[in-house]
Structure 1
């Protein structure tokens, strides 16, 4: 069964990046907020409560967000965990609830690609034709090579064709098209290419499928197996995974859409043949560990998954004149003098945010909400609520971590 076209629209969109985060510091008190389902009584549009739990619950009600898990972390540990609302009907969000990360998944794929550089198997600036058994060229510019660095920064000239992504998507099951087949077939269609490679920024989910196929071709290893061996297991992210078959499905938060008229509508979990762009499922505990590892140069608990120099290279912006602040699978933002690595995610019943500050303080928000999809149609209440929640968490980080 194929997902509705509109559900796939969000997969081609870069998530919102207009949040202002204050400078944070790095001492480590620990706090945890008790989970509680959002009140089901009619919403009172008065001012939000002053206390953190009440404020977040109010924003969730205002924004049509069913469930939320959030955390503030430092390089040393987790300073605060919040669990609010419902993972599914009558089931509160818990620390081990899994959320689909949507486009935050691209940061995992980026690490797996750069690990190939560390292993001496890949030159990020070499033509992909040298590694893949098929041509990766824009037919309009056949003499211009496409490189992994271009795909990682969305500057390859490859573009998303939403109807094709829809046909490569399934509802309720894992994808039924191999990653290698999807990649080969996708790059072979002239209409899937646009600008001259290296000349223009154009956000592209399909490009990360090509990167996943690149990992498979070079290593002769399944992308999911490679992810487990080189990233998820070393960082202690046990229970996270790319496919429904890789995780405990009963622990995945039900995706929801919301409308003022109908309220919440449960949706099916999705599968995508281009899964390295969008399909990672992880809990707030997993993401707290991941954020800490990123903040520590991709080392955690004495285990290093990428050489520190290459972790630093992932922060560098290679094409500022055409791709703004896009680094390798991340976006770099400077807020009030502090730079941080950032990615957001928007998909069918999932809206997520990850900020990793240069001071080591991270803010993570995971939801089973269609907030960002709605925002693309002018319905801003969900996106605005998430922005307010992140700003409030930033304020809490000032109090928890800086003092």
Structure 2
């Protein structure tokens, strides 16, 4: 898991089969607004051949953008994935949650190296946990020693409310009980959704708003991300136009695709509930990199990484990757039932955002193809070296 781009730090969440069944082979077409990205198109084809029914990539630099798509966003139809179509971004949500926490730091309401117990007394306790030793920074960077809890709708979930939604405090308690500590705070890196559930509780206590309200008012609306949303508990709808998500398997030359299971967004909350598009995710990360979202000090904190692989690291809600053409790309991956996605940006203006409409399972992951695709999309537009 640590050898591929970004180490696929987003949670790998087991999708649950739905009732409908479709057999299809991927469409052979590809669409692009440019004619000079043949290398990325070839890499996208190779990735999609091992991923979902469709795959799309939206990339560019300071001079403009381009979009490529292969396969289909809807099984048994010829619907290339478009850059303005909605999908569930999974753990890419963590970057938005981290931004809100860092805004609270800027406002003097949170100290990064203060214990979480100072703000949420008695919450991070039991099953070997001690919230007086786990700091806010630890939670943001996955270095608090928290176990890797990964919810699976219908299989591995905490008790729900009578209306089918989930209380954030209940989710946190369930996650802590389900996964004991794996290391002392600060001693190691273990990617865990639990830390971001706890950060959601921190946001709610300090702002008096639910996570979806705080992220919307503090980040989404000021940046004008009109196709990005944090669904409120109980809102399971996906806005149109949308990429349809699937769970699937490959049987010889045929692909077996099942519509992704429906789940309440409160199950993932600030760790992975958001909806966006390729265009909006690219725009968000470009604005973040430009310094328009956080102060220079906060952005520097966010970008201070712990190395987790030969060319990958994790900061405060940001992953880093060093492409073959040089420099550092920053962003985040995401995976929830129906979708896997990734967005990366570079300081010279290059960016790439991609999605495939199936959550690719452990043991079936096209790791090499994903790395090749992201690397090629970033490096095709790289400035020429002297």
| Shared fold (TM-score, shorter chain, > 0.5) | yes
Look up the SS of the partner of 1:87 in the other structure.
Answer: coil
Q: CA deviation at 1:40?
A: 5.8
Please list, as runs of the form range in 1=range in 2, the aligned pairs for 1:155-166 lying within 5 A after superposition.
155-162=143-150, 166=155
Alignment RMSD (CA, Å) = 3.6
Paired with 2:149 and 2:277, the residues of 1 have a C-alpha distance of: 30
2:171 to 161, 182, 204: 182
Conserved? CA contact 2:87–2:275, under 8 Å: yes
Q: CA deviation at 1:14?
A: 8.0
Question: CA, structure 1 residues 330+15, in 2 after alignment: closer, same or farther (shift >3 Å)?
Answer: farther
Q: Give the stretch that moved more between structures: 207-216 or 359-368.
A: 359-368
Q: Give the stretch that moved more between structures: 227-236 or 155-164.
A: 155-164
Look up the SS of the partner of 1:254 in the other structure.
Answer: coil
Q: Which residue of 1 aligns with 2:20?
A: none
Q: CA deviation at 1:84?
A: 3.7
Q: Which residue of 2 aligns with 1:311?
A: 299
Look up the SS of the partner of 2:314 in the other structure.
Answer: coil
Look up the SS of the partner of 1:63 in the other structure.
Answer: coil
Paired with 1:295 and 1:141, the residues of 2 have a C-alpha distance of: 35
Question: CA, structure 1 residues 288+385, in 2 after alignment: closer, same or farther (shift >3 Å)?
Answer: same
Paired with 1:79 and 1:329, the residues of 2 have a C-alpha distance of: 25
Q: Which residue of 2 aligns with 1:255?
A: 245
Paired with 2:149 and 2:342, the residues of 1 have a C-alpha distance of: 25
**Which segments of 5 or more consecutive residues in structure 1 lack a partner in the other structure?**
1-12, 20-36, 42-49, 300-304
Q: Which residue of 2 aligns with 1:129?
A: 117
What TM-score, normalized to structure 1?
0.75
Question: CA, structure 1 residues 115+15, in 2 after alignment: closer, same or farther (shift >3 Å)?
Answer: farther
Question: CA, structure 1 residues 289+198, in 2 after alignment: closer, same or farther (shift >3 Å)?
Answer: same
Conserved? CA contact 1:156–1:198, under 8 Å: yes
Q: Give the stretch that moved more between structures: 135-144 or 217-226.
A: 135-144
2:68 to 82, 98, 106: 82
Paired with 1:133 and 1:142, the residues of 2 have a C-alpha distance of: 10
Paired with 2:304 and 2:135, the residues of 1 have a C-alpha distance of: 16
Look up the SS of the partner of 2:223 in the other structure.
Answer: coil
What TM-score, normalized to structure 2?
0.78
Look up the SS of the partner of 2:57 in the other structure.
Answer: strand
Q: Which residue of 2 aligns with 1:33?
A: none
1:288 to 261, 282, 286: 282
What stretches of structure 1 move > 6 A for 4+ residues in a row?
A: 321-324
1:222 to 195, 207, 210: 210
**Which segments of 5 or more consecutive residues in structure 2 lack a partner in the other structure?**
8-24, 30-36
Q: Which residue of 2 aligns with 1:328?
A: 316
Q: CA deviation at 1:225?
A: 0.6
Q: Which residue of 2 aligns with 1:276?
A: 270
Conserved? CA contact 2:334–2:340, under 8 Å: yes
Q: Would you say how many aligned residue pairs link Structure 1 and Structure 2?
A: 349
